[in-house]
Amino acid sequence: MADKILELEINNWEKLVERSTEPVIVMFYNENCPHCKTMLPYFEKLFHDFQSKSVFGRINVQNDPWIAERYGIMSVPAFKFFCNGKPVAEIVGAVYPDMLAKMVDNVIIHGKECAEKSSSVDYEITGYA
């Protein structure tokens, strides 16, 4: 596991998120979002509480809009949970920190089961037929 919150971008996304065998919690944000700034300290606390059980990363949607589009991120902050590289849950907005913590805990406990039952990521996806 990482010893800090990973800074994700298009160049490391596939390796660190989609091909990860560990649960990954990703915060989608942008620098100008006041709610993102409000939620960041809580996300950092969750990282410190759960870093031995999961990987935490964040991605600036202004720098990498393709990834946000691929995963249906329409507003920030958004927290998306991945198991075995598959998205299994998400929560959007400046939510209660305890609610976010409970989701992190649930994904760590049940995420692999959920990922086994979900569709795999197709790396050849294009928007054109």
- What pLDDT digit, counting tens, does each position of 57-72 carry? 999 999 999 999 999 9
Give the pLDDT band (50/70/90) at residue 125. Answer: low
- pLDDT at position 124: 59
Class of domain 6-116: alpha beta
Could you tell me which residues are beta bridge partners of residue 92?
78
Residue 25 has a pLDDT of: 94
Q: What span, in angstroms and rounded, lies between the C-alpha atoms of 10 and 75?
A: 19
Does residue 115 surpass a pLDDT of 70?
no
Show me where the domains of the chain are located: 6-116
pLDDT at residue 108 in the model:
82
Q: What is the pLDDT of residue 32?
A: 94
pLDDT at position 88 is 87
Sign of CA pseudo-dihedral 42, 79, 21, 13:
negative
HSE, side-chain direction, 13 A CA sphere, residue 79:
27
Q: What is the rounded CA–CA span in Å between residue 12 and residue 127?
A: 22
